[in-house]
Structure 1
Amino acid sequence: MSGLLINLIIQLISGAVGGNVAAGAAKNIDLGTIGNTITGAIGGGVGGQVLGMLIPLLANTASTPDIGSIVGQVAGGGVAGAVLTAIVGAVKNRTA
C-alpha cells in the first residue's frame, strides 16, 4: 500500500470517530449516525490532507513508522471531522 492511501485510511477513520464524538457531545448538531460518520470521514480526509501539506512531517506516516506522525494523523483527522460535522449540523439546524 502506498503511504498516501494509508494516511487517507487513518484520516477517514479518525474523522468518522471525531464526527460521532462531536455530535454526541452537542445534540443540537447531530445529523444521525450515518450522517455524522459520513460528514466526519469527509472532514477527516480533507482536513488531514490539508494538514499533511502544511506539516510535511505528518505526510511521512507510511514510509517511516513513527508513532508521533501516526498520532498526528489521528488527531488531525479527528479534529477536522468534528469541526466539519459541527459546521454542517449547525447549518442544517439553522435552515430547518
Structure 2
Amino acid sequence: MDIAGMLVQLVAGAAAGNGVGKVAPGLSLGTAGNSIVGGLGGIIVSQLLPMLMGNTAVAGTGLDMATIIAGFISGGVGGGVTSLIVGLIKSKMAK
C-alpha cells in the first residue's frame, strides 16, 4: 500500500486506540500513548492481514473509495485491538 493508504490506517488506528482508552479507562495509556500504540497497530495489522488471510495480490494501490474504507476498517480494528492488548499488559504489570 502507498503512503496515503498507510496514513488512513494510521489515523484510523489512532482514533480507535483513543476510543478504547475512553471506553476502558483502566486500560488507557493516555492520549499520546493510545494514539501512538493505536496508530502503529493500525498500520501493522493492516499490512499483515492480507498475508494472514492468504491474499497475495496487492489490495488497492490508489485512494479509491474501497481502499479508503478498507484502510479505515483494518486500521481501526488493528489499532483498537493493539491498544487493548498493550493496556491489558500494562495493567497486569502494574499489579
Q: TM-score, normalised by structure 2?
A: 0.85
- Unaligned regions of 5+ residues in structure 1, if any? none
Counterparts of 1:4 and 1:46 in 2: how far apart (Å)?
14
Give aligned-pair identity as a percent. 35
8 Å Cα contact 2:5-2:67 kept in structure 1: no
Report what 2:59 is aligned to.
59
Amino acid at match of 2:59: A
**What SS does the corresponding residue of 1:41 show, helix, strand or coil?**
helix
Q: Number of matched residues?
A: 92
Give the alignment partner of residue 44 of structure 1, picking from 42, 45, 62: 42
Amino acid at match of 1:38: I
Q: 1:10 to 1:16 in 2, by over 3 A?
A: same
Give the alignment partner of residue 35 of structure 1, picking from 12, 33, 36: 33
For residues 40-64 of structure 1, the C-alpha deviation after alignment (integer angstroms, 9 at most, x for no partner) is 01100101111244456773141x6
8 Å Cα contact 1:57-1:69 kept in structure 2: no
Report what 1:70 is aligned to.
68
Counterparts of 2:44 and 2:31 in 1: how far apart (Å)?
20
Q: 1:33 to 1:94 in 2, by over 3 A?
A: same
Q: TM-score, normalised by structure 1?
A: 0.84
Report what 2:79 is aligned to.
81
CA-based RMSD of the aligned residues comes to 1.9
- Unaligned regions of 5+ residues in structure 2, if any? none
